[in-house]
Amino acid sequence: MRFFPSTASARGGALDRRGPKIVWAVWAVLLALCACAATAVNYTVIDQGSASGKPFPPLHFDLIAEAAPFEKLFSEIHSDRLPPPAPPKIDFQTSLVVFVSLGEKPSAGYRMTVDEVTRAQETVRVKIGVQEPPSHEFQAAVITRPFILIEIKKEAGLRNVALVDAENKVIQLLPVP
């Protein structure tokens, strides 16, 4: 079966066989574009809040792949609470934990959300939304330290996790340990 009828060329009536080659080239381009498309990644918000017990630098991003560093981080985040909550159980054989902190903020009303988590090739991209307090409303003048912890599943071929901004530009890229 032919996709394009053969036509006589201007050079003595030889058949033009470029039609099938063009079809295969188009299919190859479409396949490559599909391979580059980002797919949604399932995630779980483990913990989030506006008052981390430990101050972190502005826009701190970390990737945790073992239980001991996770438990230490979790206890530091909740060091201002008595008694501190127990860290959730994470299976680090199958999961990674992503931590993002905004650092110190001058008032209440700041909040972080996960806008999306996607994977393109060997990189998971985490897009965090930041909600700021409305400028026209009065907010308590207290130091806050918004943070969020999310769990993502380890997948075959995963090499990096990237924190991206609203325009999907990479802010920071971390290798998967």
The residues spanned by each domain of the chain are 1-37, 39-175
Residue linked to tokens 């965090």: 128
Q: What is the pLDDT of residue 42?
A: 96
B/e letters for 102-128, b = 16+ CB within 10 Å, e = fewer, are beebeebbbbbebeebbbeeebbbbbb
Task: Find the DSSP H helices in the chain.
Answer: 18-36, 67-77
Q: What is the pLDDT of residue 161?
A: 98
Burial of 50 (0-12, 13-18, 19+ CB in 10 A): middle
Q: What is the pLDDT of residue 71?
A: 97
The Cα–Cα gap between 37 and 40 comes to 10
Q: What is the pLDDT of residue 139?
A: 82
Q: What is the pLDDT of residue 134?
A: 87
Helix (H, G, I), strand (E, B) or coil at 35: helix
Average pLDDT, the chain: 85
Residue 103 has φ and ψ, to the nearest 5°, of 80, -160
The DSSP call for residue 102 is -
Rounded to two decimals, the pTM is: 0.77
Q: What is the pLDDT of residue 37?
A: 74
Where residue 4 falls among pLDDT bands split at 50, 70, 90?
very low
The Cα–Cα gap between 35 and 127 comes to 21
Query: In this predicted model, what pLDDT tens digit does every residue of 49-91 receive, in sequence order?
Result: 999 999 999 999 999 999 999 999 999 999 998 998 999 999 9
Amino acid at 3: F
The average pLDDT across 110-129 equals 96
Answer yes or no: are the C-beta atoms of 46 and 150 closer than 8 Å.
yes
Amino acid at 85: P
Range of weakest confidence among 28-37, 63-72, 119-128, 129-138: 28-37
Where residue 32 falls among pLDDT bands split at 50, 70, 90?
very low
